[in-house]
A = this chain, B = another copy of it.
Amino acid sequence: MSTLLLLPGDGIGPEVIEQVRRVASRLANDLTLEERAFGGTSFDQFGTPLTEEAEAVALASDAVLMGAVGGPKWAGAPRAQRPEAGLLRLRQAMNVYANLRPAICFDALAGASALKPEFVSGLDIMIVRELTGGVYFGQPRGIETLADGQKRGVDTQVYTTSEIERVSRVAFELARGRRNKVTSCEKSNVMETGLLWREVVTALHARDYADVQLEHMLADNAAMQLVKNPLQFDVIVTDNLFGDILSDEAAMLTGGIGLLPSAALGDPGKPGLYEPIHGSAPDIAGQGLANPLAAILSFEMALRWSLGRTDLADKLNAAVKAALEEGARTRDIGGSLTTAQMGDAVLKGL
């Protein structure tokens, strides 16, 4: 019997996680669901975006599924108590270094993209973003005041061989089960970590993955190529910061960011952290307008990657596709279903 920890979080988080609850009870009634406060909601209750108790429960679970964190309400909180800080702490505590962010264009939604359908129909990119290193965590960092009253801000990007290797390994393994191509993105023409990144990926490829097609692409060029010809990509592997930006760009190409899930994985056997790509969307929170599919598909990823239930994952995926094909649409994808009605549409297919 497995345990899934739900962290609904802020904004639309609770509404979309509520639909996951319904789906989970129907689909996997032997799954134990736990729930804890997280993000701003946790800060309001406990003065911290992630309590030690919640962190411990996360580490002891088989998978963690979060909704979303953040919102204007907490923008003034001290930096270390911001909702985002809780998320960064959780990522690091769980050591989930490989963030899988699929950018998939669902057939039923190809028309919703800003791009012409011929550029995105059939799109299926898997972005593997390094998640526990780089400029997000490097030391030294801070803001100091200089003698002349000026301020000076510093961030440090650090990567080691093993950090680059383990995330690249995930990318190569994934590619083997897909179209067998990995595009590694960095700025090796200007950054030292980019140079090391390229060197480590190249060596790992030669050593263990020579059967996979490997291509190196500068991050700025990748940002262009994603617009120019997104269908050229299969798996993209990149660092924490470039991954943050490129995965958001890629997600938006699909026209359906309300549908995109993500998984953050650590070493085999350790719990994964799952979350929709979309944010907390405070402007529509509490109104039943949010699309729960990204959260539901994040649960699907949890079934697949952490809970050992590929069968249920496939079933859930089919139910989501069927709902879309039958025309179920929340507002973000041009329809008028409420969050709960979209949940109903998926339940119908289970």
Contact = CB atoms under 8 A, between A and B. Distances in A.
Given A84-B189, A88-B190, A159-B153, A223 B245 contact: yes
Contact of A152 (B142, B155, B160): B160
A82 to B, nearest CB: 7
A334 to B, nearest CB: 14
Contacts of A248: 220-221, 223-224
A219 B247 CA distance: 12
Nearest to A70: B189
B227 A246 contact: no
A191 interface: yes
A131 to B, nearest CB: 12
Contact of A143 (B88, B192, B226, B229): B192
Nearest to A164: B153
Contact of A160 (B146, B159, B190): B146
Nearest to A221: B248
A197 interface: yes
With a 10 A CB-CB cut-off, give which of A136, A143, A224 has the most chain B CB atoms: A224
A34 interface: no
Interface stretch (A58-66, A250-258, A338-346): A250-258
B192 A155 contact: yes
A187 B151 contact: no
A155 B193 contact: yes
Interface string A204-244: 00000000000000011101101111000000000001101
A153 B190 contact: no
Interface string A180-198: 0000000101111111110
A116 interface: yes
Contacts of A242: 245
Interface string A245-271: 110110111000100000000000000
Interface in A159-174: 159-162
B244 A187 contact: yes
Contacts of A153: 158-160, 191-197
A196 B228 contact: no
Closest 3 CB pairs of A and B: A153-B196, A153-B193, A223-B249
Interface of A: 70, 79, 82, 84, 88, 114-116, 119, 135-136, 138, 141-143, 146, 150-162, 187, 189-197, 199-200, 219-221, 223-224, 226-229, 241-242, 244-246, 248-249, 251-253, 257
30 contacts: A84-B189, A114-B228, A115-B116, A115-B227, A135-B190, A136-B190, A141-B191, A141-B192, A143-B196, A150-B160, A151-B200, A152-B159, A152-B161, A152-B196, A153-B158, A153-B159, A154-B157, A155-B157, A155-B194, A156-B156, A156-B157, A187-B244, A220-B244, A220-B245, A220-B248, A221-B248, A224-B249, A226-B249, A227-B227, A227-B249
Given A187-B244, A219-B245, 20 more contacts: A84-B189, A84-B190, A115-B115, A115-B116, A135-B190, A142-B192, A150-B161, A151-B161, A151-B196, A152-B161, A153-B158, A153-B159, A153-B196, A154-B192, A156-B156, A156-B157, A223-B252, A226-B249, A228-B252, A249-B249
